[in-house]
Amino acid sequence: METLVVDHPLVAHKLTTLRDVRTDSPTFRRLADELVTLLAYEATRDVRVTDVTVETPVSPAHGVRLAKPQPLVVPILRAGLGMLDGMTRLLPTAEVGFLGMIRNESTLKAETYATRLPDDLSGRQCFVVDPMLATGGTLAAAVQFLFDRGAVDVTAICLLAAPEGLAYMDKVFANSGKPIRVVTAALDERLNENGYIVPGLGDAGDRLYG
């Protein structure tokens, strides 16, 4: 698995305000939206394209268009919804699938309560969006859903990641043979005894939606 921590002053600036406990929900939503667009720029670096030629007013010009099948964007409900608009702004022709997952706060295990994905993802590149990668249980289950339907590679875009979650993803998918990337704005210190990322930003779903 490949991990990319996006090192950019604008990303760091927006993330710092997101972390701040004094940031209200409307500002949090706007910053999450802006951040995902910056992260998505890096996360889509390997999106598949095909060569095309267009006519400019002057001459033919060689260029590229997104290849078919179009990428699939998968927000993990609920907090991932706060990152969906930022993704579709960058990839307006992408299809969108939904996964509803919640972490049981006693066991820290991910539980799935909704799936609305195409049955056949053969040949598809998938982009999972979820603000937090904590223990990694949620993301691992989401990636497995996509691989089970035939996805060829999965890139996860997370605002924050914990070392424990990345290690868990590495362990679970060590022999999957399929490319997995995690693109994040920051790799934080650790998880606390409640499974929260430290220093983190609190509960992203609550801060987005109350």
Which positions from 167 through 196 interact with ligand PRP, judged by CB under 6 A?
A: 195
Site string for ligand PRP, 81-110 (x = CB under 6 A): --------------------xxx----x-x
Of 71 and 80, nearer to ligand PRP (C-beta) is: 80
Report the residue from 38, 99, 129, 132 that binds ligand PRP according to the rule CB under 6 A.
132
Q: Which residues pair with 72 in a beta bridge?
A: 95, 126
Quick check: 159 binds ligand PRP (CB under 6 A)? no
What's the token pair of residue 171?
Answer: 């362990």
* H/E segment holding residue 175: none
Q: Which residues pair with 155 in a beta bridge?
A: 127, 181
Residue 147 to residue 83: CA distance in whole angstroms: 22
Contacts 24+ apart (CB under 8 A), 102-110: 102/78, 103/134, 103/135, 103/137, 103/138, 103/195, 105/194, 105/195, 108/135, 108/137, 108/195, 109/137, 110/137, 110/138, 110/140, 110/141
End-to-end Cα distance, the chain: 33
Quick check: 6 binds ligand PRP (CB under 6 A)? no
What does the chain come to in residues?
A: 210
CB of 185 to ligand PRP, least distance (A): 14
Quick check: 75 binds ligand PRP (CB under 6 A)? no
Of 47 and 161, nearer to ligand PRP (C-beta) is: 161
Report the residue from 3, 44, 125, 135 that binds ligand PRP according to the rule CB under 6 A.
135
Report the residue from 31, 157, 205, 207 that binds ligand PRP according to the rule CB under 6 A.
205
Site string for ligand PRP, 34-73 (x = CB under 6 A): ----------------------------------------
User: Which residues contact ligand PRP by CB under 6 A?
Assistant: 76, 78-79, 101-103, 108, 110, 130-139, 165, 195, 203-205
